[in-house]
Amino acid sequence: MTSAIIDAKDITNQDDLAIKPLIVATPTITYQMRAARLASLAADSGLTDYFNLLNLVVKAQAKQAELGQFGQLPQLDLNATMPLAHGNFEWGNYWQSILLELVAELLPVVPSPIQAVLRDLSGLPEATLQQYAEDLLSTRIDAVPAQYSLFIWAALSVYWSHVAATIEPTAVTVEHNQQSLCPICGSHPVASVIKSKPREGLRYLHCSLCESQWHRVRAECTNCEDNTDIHLWSEKEKNAELSVESCGCCHSYTKMMFTNVNPELEVVADDLATLFIAGQMQQQGFHSTNVNPLLLSHQQQETEPQ
Amino acid sequence: MDRRQFFKLCACGATTSAIAALGLMPGDAMAAPREYKLLKAKETRNNCCYCSVGCGLLMYSHNSNGKNAENHIFHIEGDADNPVNRGALCPKGAGLVDYVNSPNRNKYPEVREPGTNEWKRISWNEAYARIARHMKDDRDANLIEKNEDGTTVNRWLTAGMMTSSAQPNEGGFITHKFARSLGLVAIDTIARN
């Protein structure tokens, strides 16, 4: 008499190398790594002052992600396509208290012109802040004064990544492989991250708001799914740690961070540190479909192909 | 790109980038960040044709942008998204790029006549004519039409056929029909070498 050593439906669960469609956010670790990477890139970035400020902002984010008050978890409709899209749940104004905590954290350590900006920001009426948040989340970035957008987005991101981290990866339906926006919150990706583990070489897109990552097939455009005219641009033929994937069909590009080649790469920091590449790709007629939460520039919105 | 362009990029429309709005644009004294010399390579998904597993590949090629220039493949790696090989390649697959660019590749038919050690280049027409002649002579001489019980079997055991593995279903079907209708029993593909 034979007996099964494993139930048939459990076989796939045993598979460590199976593609996970979604990697749930780990905010504290993400922010700590980002802050460290910003610090190490600052000197050669060409934007040293800005990188130093970002380092402080992201450190404050890491602290809030660990210790912040987030209130009761909101009710989420996990059957919705993007359960954390800003129209799909009551996100309230807990993010505003996080913003005030960030400001309090930053005030003693930033230069005086930025202290002035932070004081103005914390003095804004609640309704105005809520409107700014609504604008940023609806990608009306130009509706928000540029000196505030960085801090507002940082606070929103801490709140969103906190809620996103509570989601069971299996509870959300991720359209298999084929999503150009975050399946959790519907935001744009920052760039592509190539993983070293558990299956080396898989590409994940990193969300610019909730810090989740979702799987996307390689050698296919992350914007239009075409695969007939994909080019990689890099400084080395093989084992480049950073390259750009361009699509000749929709003329968009996304940066690829090969963390299997250089594990220190951090998607947001390294995207900003290679801002130069954006200029070169624009000269070649390609535009970015990605959003960097530490830049939030107007230009990317203008060239948005959707 | 020069410093002025970099400045423009950081400002991104001057009114909206946080870098400019917070007054943190790079000053004149700061060195411009380094320029990237980007090499452009076409990325194509394909399958390894050297065995029946059919591992997924990502192939990288570039050309000289000339009108008649062929794409030159310079790098091949396993396709991590492929459910069969999951990014891994066997030693044969890992050496693919060297097969493709090997100076010893056969590019035209050649013949080594009996009694010589010299390979002589011949035309495709000549090659087909010779192969057909050899096949016909050998089959006429050695075809087994009936077995000991008198049942028709039509076996041709003195010749074998090595077929291509780099062909689609339809090619495989036609190859099979062709070989079996001649009575060939020994058929194999280079996929099992």
pLDDT tens for A225-252 read 899 999 999 988 888 999 999 999 999 9
pLDDT in tens, B134-149: 999 999 999 999 999 9
Q: What is the pLDDT of residue A8?
A: 77
Same domain membership, residue A185 and residue A159 = no
Final residue of a structural domain among A123, A143, A164: A164
A102 within some domain: yes
pLDDT at residue B6 above 60? Answer: no
pLDDT band at B2 (very low <50, low <70, confident <90, very high): very low
Q: Is residue A1 part of a domain?
A: no
pLDDT score of A73 more than 70: yes
Specify whether A158 is located in the same domain as A30. Answer: yes
| A196 and A129, same domain (yes or no) | no
User: Cβ separation of A47 and B24 shorter than 8 Å?
Assistant: yes
Q: Which pLDDT score is estimated for A177?
A: 52
Query: Which of B46, B74, B94, B58 has the alpha carbon at shortest distance from A202?
Result: B58
- A59 and A151 in a single domain? The answer is yes
Cβ of A16 under 8 Å from any chain B Cβ? no
- The answer to whether A242 touches A256, Cβ cutoff 8 Å, is yes
Residue B47, chain A, CB below 8 Å: the answer is no
Domains of chain B: 1-38 (no CATH), 42-100 (3.30.200.210), 106-136 (no CATH), 143-193 (no CATH)
pLDDT at res. A214: 93
Distance CA B49, CA B54 (A): 6
* Nearest Cα residue in chain B from A16: B86
Q: Give the pair of three-digit tokens for residue B188.
A: 């194999």
Q: With an 8 Å Cβ cutoff, are A276 and B40 in contact?
A: no
Residues A220, A122 share a domain:
no
- Residue A17, domain member (yes or no): no
Distance from CA of B86 to the nearest CA of A (A): 7
Examine the pLDDT at A18 and tell me if it is beyond 60.
yes
pLDDT digits (tens, 9 = 90+) for A178-217: 688 999 999 999 999 999 988 899 999 999 999 999 999 9
Q: Coil, helix or strand for B16?
A: coil
Residues B78-102, mean pLDDT to the nearest whole number:
93
Does A11 map to a domain?
no
Are A156 and A204 in the same domain? no
pLDDT at A39 over 90: yes
The neighbour count for residue A118, using CB atoms within 10 Å, is: 20
Q: Write b or e for each residue in A190-211: b if 16 or more Cβ atoms lie within 10 A of its Cβ, otherwise e.
A: bbbbbbeeebbbbbbbbbbbbb
Q: What is the dihedral of CA B114, B115, B117, B120, to 10 degrees?
A: -40
How far, in Å, CA of A294 to CA of A195, rounded? 23
Assigned token pair, B129: 């004519």
**Measured distance CA(A257)–CA(A195) in Å, rounded:** 9
> Which tokens in the block code for residue A93?
């104004």
Is A158 inside any structural domain? yes
Burial class (CB in 10 A: 0-12, 13-18, 19+), A299: buried
Concatenated DSSP letters for chain A?
----SS-GGGTGGG-TTSPPSEE---HHHHHHHHHHHHHHHGGGSS-HHHHHHHHHHHHHHHHHHHH----SPPP--TTSSSTTSTTSS--TTHHHHHHHHHHHHHTTTS-HHHHHHHHHHHTS-HHHHHHHHHHHHTT-GGGS-HHHHHHHHHHHHHHHHHHHTTS-GGGS---TT--SS-TTT-PPEEEEEE--SSSTT-EEEEETTT--EEE--SSS-TTT---SSEEEEESSSSS-SEEEEEETTTTEEEEEEETTT-TT--HHHHHHHTHHHHHHHHHTT-EE----TTT--HHHHHT---
User: What is the domain count for chain A?
Assistant: 2
Of B22, B31, B80, the CB nearest to A200: B80
* A201–B80 C-beta distance less than 8 A: yes
Average pLDDT over residues B98-113: 91
Q: Touching check for B45 and chain A: CB below 8 Å?
A: yes
Going from the C-alpha of B83 to that of each of A171, B57, B80, B87, the distances in angstroms are 23, 12, 8, 9
pTM metric for this prediction: 0.85
Q: Name A111's Cβ contacts closer than 8 Å, sequence gap at least 6.
A: none
From A106, A141, A164, the end of a domain falls on A164
Residue B5 confidence class, pLDDT cut points 50, 70, 90: low
Last residue of a domain, one of A136, A164, A192: A164
> Residues A17-22: what's their mean pLDDT?
87
pLDDT tens, B9-40?
554 443 357 787 787 877 654 555 667 788 88
Mean pLDDT of B168-173: 90
CATH number of the domain where residue A296 is located = 3.90.1670.10
How high does pLDDT run on average in chain B?
85
Residues A44 and A160 in one domain: yes
Q: What is the ipTM of this complex?
A: 0.84
B164: closest CA of chain A, how far (Å): 26
Whole domain around residue A209: which residue ranges?
177-302
Q: Which residue has the tokens 């097969």?
A: B99
Whether A118 and A216 map to the same domain: the answer is no
Reported confidence tier of residue A12, pLDDT bands at 50, 70, 90: low
Q: Are residues A181 and A76 in the same domain?
A: no
> Please, which pLDDT band fits residue B77 given cuts at 50, 70 and 90?
very high
Question: Is a pLDDT exceeding 90 seen at residue B192?
Answer: no
Question: A300 pLDDT exceeds 70?
Answer: no
| A6 located within any domain | no
pLDDT score of A296 more than 60: yes
Instruction: Answer yes or no: do A150 and A185 share one domain.
Output: no
Shortest Cα–Cα distance, B5 to chain A (Å): 8
Query: A45, A50, A256: which to substitute to probe chain B, counting the most B Cβ within 10 Å?
Result: A50
Q: Chain B interface, mutation test: which of A118, A136, A178, A234, most B Cβ atoms within 10 Å?
A: A234
Which pLDDT belongs to residue B25?
Answer: 76
A181 shares a domain with A158: no
Check whether residue A98 and residue A188 sit in a common domain.
no
Record: contact A200-B44, CB cut-off 8 A: no
A290 inside domain: yes
Provide mean pLDDT across the span A60-84. Answer: 90
Instruction: Give B-chain residues touching A49 at CB under 8 angstroms.
Output: 24, 26
Probe site for chain B from A47, A139, A202, A247 (most B CB atoms < 10 A): A47
Instruction: Tell me what pLDDT residue A252 has.
Output: 93
DSSP B94: H
Is A3 part of any domain?
no
Indicate the average pLDDT of chain A: 89
Statement: residue B92 has pLDDT above 60? yes
Q: What is the pLDDT of residue B15?
A: 38
Please tell me the predicted confidence (pLDDT) of residue B39.
87
Q: What is the reported pLDDT for B33?
A: 61
